[in-house]
């Protein structure tokens, strides 16, 4: 534990210039973070004070935000509440997944931002801006219940949830009595109510590569999924193995 006298004693012996923290999942007391000569800085993958908490990359995608970013700040006893040293912004594309946003943007941007902030702090040229509590939001873990698909929601909401959970924890539903997590998907909105066939959650089409599932206002085309206890596989292959078929076409 970083709260123990032994942890503090061990850090003091290192004569550290600057402490750097990222993805910290335990409480770190001020007596520990203040030991380094220039204190400690921390990385958080959101534009604080928005999306404080442990799943701050998932939530903006799930809510359909078009922008996110990262913050380098001074850790305090409050959760992600310390003064901001610098921030970097990045766009969330309409088809970007959690993996896209993190690996292509927030990870490389974060490495560069930590180095930039470290240089500023050690040189004494940084600023520290108090977070606006009036703009603050906190979101908890993106767990199994949060990642469950409700096909009665609008197709945009369903698609955003799938993107926010890809590759982890995986947005899930039941198909043919089997719990499956959906990964690679496409969104197909419909323009009129008359174009909708079947109920939310029903498979309305099966192709050689994919299957289509109804939601409000459109369909989700599933290309890749993972049955519980199994491995990722093509959606059409899963449908064939389980004998899943599409709705019959409407009568003439």
Tokens of 37: 């000569």
Q: What is the pTM of this model?
A: 0.93
Question: Would you list the DSSP string of 178-194?
Answer: EEEEE-SEEEEE-SSGG
pLDDT of 224: 98
pLDDT of 252: 34
pLDDT of 251: 37
Q: Are the CB atoms for 133 and 109 separated by under 8 Å?
A: no
pLDDT of 245: 84
Q: Which residues of the chain have pLDDT under 50?
A: 248-252
Question: Would you list the DSSP string of 127-163?
Answer: --B---GGG--B-----TTTTB--TTSBHHHHHHHHH
pLDDT of 198: 82
Beta bridge partners of 221: 186, 212
- Residue spans of alpha helices (H) in 20-125: 30-33, 58-62, 98-101, 107-123
For 63, other C-beta atoms within 10 Å of its C-beta total: 13
Residue 204 has phi, psi (to 5 degrees) of -110, -10
∠ CA(118), CA(124), CA(129), 5° rounding? Answer: 80
pLDDT of 194: 67
- Residue spans of alpha helices (H) in 28-84: 30-33, 58-62
Tokens of 71: 């913050």
Give CA–CA dist 133/15, Å, rounded: 35
Domains of the chain are 5-135 (3.40.50.170), 155-242 (3.10.25.10)
pLDDT of 155: 97
């Amino acid at each position: 534990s970083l709260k123990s006298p032994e942890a503090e004693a061990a850090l003091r012996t290192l004569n550290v210039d600057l402490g750097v923290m990222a993805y910290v999942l335990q409480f770190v007391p001020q007596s520990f973070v203040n030991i380094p000569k220039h204190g400690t800085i921390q990385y958080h993958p959101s534009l604080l004070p928005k999306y404080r908490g442990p799943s701050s990359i998932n939530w903006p995608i799930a809510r359909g935000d078009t922008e996110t970013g990262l913050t380098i700040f001074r850790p305090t006893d409050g959760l992600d509440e310390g003064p901001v040293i610098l921030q970097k912004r990045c766009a969330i594309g309409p088809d970007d997944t959690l993996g896209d946003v993190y690996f292509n943007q927030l990870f490389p941007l974060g490495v560069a931002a930590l180095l930039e902030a470290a240089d500023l702090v050690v040189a004494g040229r940084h600023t520290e801006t108090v977070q606006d509590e009036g703009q603050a939001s906190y979101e908890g873990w993106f767990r199994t219940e949060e990642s469950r698909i409700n096909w009665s929601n609008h197709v945009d909401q369903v698609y955003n949830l799938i993107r926010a959970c890809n590759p982890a924890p995986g947005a899930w539903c039941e198909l043919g009595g089997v719990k499956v997590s959906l990964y690679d998907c496409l969104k197909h909105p419909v323009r009129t109510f008359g174009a909708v066939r079947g109920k939310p959650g029903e498979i309305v089409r099966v192709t050689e590569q994919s299957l289509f599932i109804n939601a409000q206002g459109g369909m989700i085309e599933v290309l890749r999924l993972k049955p519980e206890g199994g491995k990722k596989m093509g959606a059409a292959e899963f449908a064939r193995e389980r004998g899943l078929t599409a709705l019959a076409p409407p009568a003439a």
